[in-house]
Each structure stands twice: as structure tokens, then as C-alpha cells.
Amino acid sequence: MTSDLLRLKYPIVLVHGLGARSNFGPIDYFYGLPDLLRSAHNQIFIPKLTPFQTIEFRATQLKEQIEKAIPDGKINLVGHSMGGLDARYLTSKLGFAERVASVTTIGTPNRGTSASDLAVDAVSPAAFSAMDRFLKLMGSSSTALMQITRSYCNGPLALDAPNLPQVAYFSATTAISNPVVTKALPIFWVPHRLVKQIEGDNDGFVSVESARWGEHICTYAGDHYSQIGQILGRARGMDYIKFYTEIFSRLRRDGM
């Protein structure tokens, strides 16, 4: 029965976030999700994007890889974290709107995140320049961090990647519950407190308000990595399989 709920009309493209890879050896970024969707007889494509690069760069890679893997027909784009921004940019800015049935963003800083604002403010221009020179040696760019600030997402990105009437937009996210020390990975403890003071409930990186986009499907209790079943299926009490199921069953109900 669950399999029937998750079978979508169009192929699904899973887009990973900033600083990550589509897989780490045998471990999928979206832990357990590809197998879950394939068991429902979906066509899945998992692009491999440069971990630290601009939205423009990653979206261009995304377009090229999709055109090779799925040359024709509609697709459903599902992006986690910055992957959702890549998906939105591809759809609106790179002439891909006619190919996209839906864009679903999961834990995506659609309106930016104050965590990035604080990080950018804390680093001097000279330090950013030095970091960028180092990253360029590896084909990467520190500009990616600036592109998830609130000023960028509500300014240039909003102009480049508006919602289009012919595309369905959905979102889902999480918010860390108490006690934070047992409900979130240590990496999120301090950012969660800082973002909460500025923006309210959040997943340790992105606020619930920023993540809400289009038709909001659900908000579960969990941190930013619990949304993708990490680490290795240990999601600090969150049922990430149920989270996945609610998202994709909603897409199915809406004819995606």
C-alpha cells in the first residue's frame, strides 16, 4: 500500500545540498530515499553537483546532467537545503520551466538564513578572498555562502527564481524540539539558538519561516540532517521514512 502512495507520474530528481555529495561511497545523501522510491517503481535520477559552488554554477550542472539522463518529458525536482535553491533557479532562470512539473524544497533557505548572515559578517573581506583563492584551486567558490544570506535570497535570487504559474511548488521542513542536546547533532546546537533569537523555530540552520515555500506539506521535529535520514538512519527520534512518505504521497495526490 505504501508503494502505491509513493508512485509518481513523472521521474524524480533528488538534488543534494551545499558542501555535500550525492553519495559517500555506498551511503546515499538522501538516506534510504532512493530505495524507497525505486520500490514504488519510480524513475530516479541523482545528479552529482560540485559541493561548494554558486547557485548559478550548480543549476547549470543540474540542467546538463538532467538533459543527458532524462532527455524528454516532465520531471519532479526535489532539493534539500541549497539544492532547493538550485532547483528553483534551474526552473525559472535556465529555461527549464516547460520540463518541470514540480519543485519541492526540503529544509531550504528560500528566504535565506541568519546563520549565513552571521557567518559572513564574522569573516573579514580579506579572509573571504583568501578562502576563495583556495577553493578555486578545487573548482569551488566561497560565494555560495553569501548566496544563502537573507539579503541575497530576498533580493537577487527572488528576482532570478520567482515561482512560475505552470509549475507546482511544495515544501517541507523540521524544527528542533527540546531538549536540544538530545534532539539535534552538536553541530546545530549553537546555530539553533542564534537563529531562534532572530527568526524563530528552526532546524539548526534554516528557520521554518524561510523553508516554507509554495504549498507547505509538513513540519516535523528534527534537525537539518534528520530531514535526509542522517547520520546513517539515526535521526534523533525523527521518523524520516514517515517524513519522506508524507512528502511524496502529497505529490502523488496532486498528480505529480
Supply the pLDDT for residue 12: 98
Report how far residue 33's alpha carbon sits from residue 11's, in angstroms, rounded to the nearest whole number.
Answer: 14
pLDDT band for position 128 (cuts 50, 70, 90): low
Q: For 39-98, how does the pLDDT look when each residue is reduced to its tens digit (9 = 90+)?
A: 999 999 999 999 999 999 999 999 999 999 999 999 999 999 999 999 999 999 999 999
Report how far residue 57's alpha carbon sits from residue 53's, in angstroms, rounded to the nearest whole number.
Answer: 6
Q: Output 228 or 139, whichever has higher pLDDT.
A: 228
CA 96 vs. chain centroid, Å, equals 18
Residues 21-33 have a mean pLDDT of 92
DSSP code string of 147-176: TTSHHHHTTHHHHHS---TTSEEEEEEEEP
Alpha carbons within 13 A on the beta-carbon side of 145? 18
Report the alpha-carbon angle 224-226-229, nearest 5: 135
The domain of 74 spans 2-253
Supply the pLDDT for residue 175: 98
Whether residue 1 is predicted with pLDDT greater than 60 in this model: the reply is: no
Report the alpha-carbon angle 249-244-150, nearest 5: 110
DSSP code string of 9-45: SS-EEEE--TT--SEETTEESSTTHHHHHHHTT--EE
Whether residue 140 is predicted with pLDDT greater than 80 in this model: the reply is: no
Among 53, 55, 51, 39, CA closest to 7? 39
Residues 194-221 have a mean pLDDT of 98
Residues, the chain: 256
Supply the pLDDT for residue 35: 95
Whether residue 182 is predicted with pLDDT greater than 90 in this model: the reply is: yes
User: What is the average pLDDT value for the chain, to the nearest integer?
Assistant: 94
Domains identified in the chain, total number: 1
Supply the pLDDT for residue 124: 67
- C-alpha cell read off for 240: 524520516
Residues 176-182 have a mean pLDDT of 97
pLDDT band for position 228 (cuts 50, 70, 90): very high
Strands 23-24 and 27-28: antiparallel
DSSP code string of 93-124: HSS-GGGEEEEEEES--TT--HHHHHHHHHS-
pTM of the full structure: 0.95
User: CATH number, domain at 171?
Assistant: 3.40.50.1820
